[in-house]
Chain A
């Protein structure tokens, strides 16, 4: 099973700042990685798929990069609604796993 680790566990930032979230896979997943946002009491929302493609309706301030084992989600300038938990997720041979999440909270 491919294990995903995310860092940091918590990121404390102010609105307008840049957020950089990391996801590392235990073995190569090529570009088969997605990012999701989850707010309290809500279902997750797909942000990025195939490492760098924004899902429908996702603002341009969200961007993804990376391949192989190291991936990054960048939020260029945090809006108040961006404070949430972010999960990375990989797909490999019809087996999927999520990372433990990074919480972005208000400093």
Chain B
């Protein structure tokens, strides 16, 4: 079955970077785009960006431009999201979510990775 398995929880200090992974299985990895969405405690969903696993092209939300990098490794069917210059406001659950072919709505989600930024 289609599955997205994310890496474990992280605790980081302000100013550091974090890299979260999302390993896909059960489908052709390069045929579906992948989103990253985050959710701060008690808050709503915030779209961060999208990557095309086939060619590696990306599109980022303006808010994260310059601070986020999304990459992929086709040999392991894994996408990565790296966020730099962390601040306390980046404390959130980070989700990867597969985009439906062509429309890119998010049909399969990972369970989320909790990132805590604290001194």
Interface on A for B, CB 8 Å cutoff?
Answer: 1, 32, 34, 36, 38, 43-46, 49-50, 55-56, 87, 89, 91, 94-101
- 9 A-B residue pairs with CB within 8 Å: A36-B45, A43-B109, A46-B106, A46-B107, A49-B105, A50-B105, A91-B104, A94-B59, A100-B44
- A98 contacts which of B45, B62, B103, B109 (Cβ < 8 Å)? B45
- A49 contacts which of B47, B59, B103 (Cβ < 8 Å)? B103
- B47 contacts which of A43, A55, A56, A96 (Cβ < 8 Å)? A96
Given A1-B62, A43-B95, A43-B110, residue A96 in contact with residue B44 (CB < 8 A): no
Residue of B nearest to A99 (CB): B44
B106 partner residues in chain A, CB cutoff 8 A: 34, 36, 44, 46, 89
Interface residues on B, range: 20 to 34
A55 partner residues in chain B, CB cutoff 8 A: 105, 107
**Majority secondary structure of chain B interface residues (helix, strand, loop or mixed):** strand
**Majority secondary structure of chain A interface residues (helix, strand, loop or mixed):** strand
Interface on B for A, CB 8 Å cutoff?
Answer: 35, 37, 44-47, 50, 59, 61-62, 95, 97, 100, 103-107, 109-112
Question: Taking each of A56, A95, A100, A101, which has the highest tally of chain B beta carbons within 10 Å of its own beta carbon?
Answer: A95
Nearest-CB distance from A33 to chain B (Å)? 9
Q: Evaluate contact between B107 and A43: CB separation under 8 angstroms.
A: no
Give the CA-CA distance A49 to B99 in the complex, in Å.
12
Extra contacts, 4 of them, besides A43-B97, A45-B109, A96-B104 (Cβ < 8 A), are: A46-B107, A55-B107, A95-B59, A98-B47
A100 partner residues in chain B, CB cutoff 8 A: 44
- B61 contacts which of A49, A95, A99 (Cβ < 8 Å)? A95
